[in-house]
Amino acid sequence: MRETFLAAVLWLLLTSSAPMAAADEPQDAGPVTATYGALFFGGNRMHSPYVLSYVSGRLCVNGFALPQTKLHPASARRKTRRELEEESFAQRAADRCDSLRAVGASIETMRATVASMCRSSSLLDSFRVRARAVDMFFRSGSRVPIGLWEAVHTPPPRVTRAEMLSAELHQLRTLLDSGSTMFVLRDGVRITAHEDPDKMVSRALAGQVDSKLQRQLRHPLKLERLK
């Protein structure tokens, strides 16, 4: 029953997969307002209408945001000499492709150049040539693909962080106004289902949906007012 439910009506959207913005790029978007649906924010049932916005990169509902997770930086492992040599070689191959691409070289030329570099390197155990990449297999066991593509004479317009956030807010509004029940969890997971919210909550509390959702419904997070 759980697998059928998840396959039919459950979407997990990980915001951490979104492209990172430049440090000086605006992190605000919205607001947009959704009138329908049911929205649970960190286990708290919010009241409609739902005013959705981004403030300093944080999703807000009716002016409230989820508490920020404190990150503890992990101690960096010191790289071995071989690892540094492998990284340097792969970077040289990528830089060579960039130089060839800048003068309008074909993919065939880039492919042949990288393959020649691989044949002459003692760092590699083997390499594999594909249509759009050359895969390097180092003696340490690591694999590094070098992508191959021709120069784009008319680059696509850059999408700003603010535009991405705005598009996300409009998507959330569309889902809510279609009558969806939505749960936004602290770790960035969003669960959306076309099901009665009370029935959905009962299923979640019974452990039939997602363990993280069950915990946050039992112990709602204390929201932070941002605006």
Quick one: 129 and 177 in the same domain? no
For residues 169 and 32, the answer to whether their CB atoms sit within 8 Å is yes
**CA 31 to CA 156: how far, in whole Å?**
27
Q: Decide if 59 is inside a domain.
A: yes
**CA 3 to CA 13: how far, in whole Å?**
17
**pLDDT at residue 26, rounded to an integer:** 61
**pLDDT at residue 71, rounded to an integer:** 61
Portion of the chain with pLDDT greater than 90, in percent: 53
Q: Decide if 201 is inside a domain.
A: yes
**pLDDT at residue 12, rounded to an integer:** 40
From the number of C-beta atoms within 10 Å of its C-beta (0-12, 13-18, 19+), residue 209 rates as buried
Q: In what order do the strands lie in the sheet with 133-138?
A: 124-129, 133-138, 143-147
Q: Domain range for residue 113?
A: 81-147
**CA 3 to CA 210: how far, in whole Å?**
11
Map residue 29 onto helix, strand or coil.
strand
Positions in the chain whose pLDDT score sits under 50: 1-23
* Nearest alpha-carbon partner for 190 in 9, 12, 8, 6: 12
Q: Decide if 153 is inside a domain.
A: no
**pLDDT at residue 154, rounded to an integer:** 60
**pLDDT at residue 74, rounded to an integer:** 62
List Cβ neighbours of 121 (8 Å cut-off, separation of 6 or more). 89
pLDDT in tens, 86-107: 999 999 999 999 899 888 889 9
**pLDDT at residue 210, rounded to an integer:** 81
pTM given for the model: 0.56
**pLDDT at residue 104, rounded to an integer:** 86
Q: What would the two tokens of residue 103 be?
A: 């003068």
Neighbours of 210 (CB within 10 A): 20
Quick one: 16 and 119 in the same domain? no
Domain limit, last residue, from 147, 166, 186? 147
Q: Decide if 41 is inside a domain.
A: yes
Strands 124-129 and 133-138, how do they pair? antiparallel
**Into how many domains does the chain fold?**
2
For residues 54 and 60, the answer to whether their CB atoms sit within 8 Å is yes
Map residue 37 onto helix, strand or coil.
coil
pLDDT in tens, 151-169: 765 656 777 888 889 999 9
Quick one: 165 and 214 in the same domain? yes
**pLDDT at residue 152, rounded to an integer:** 63
Quick one: 54 and 86 in the same domain? no
Question: Any idea how long the chain is?
Answer: 227
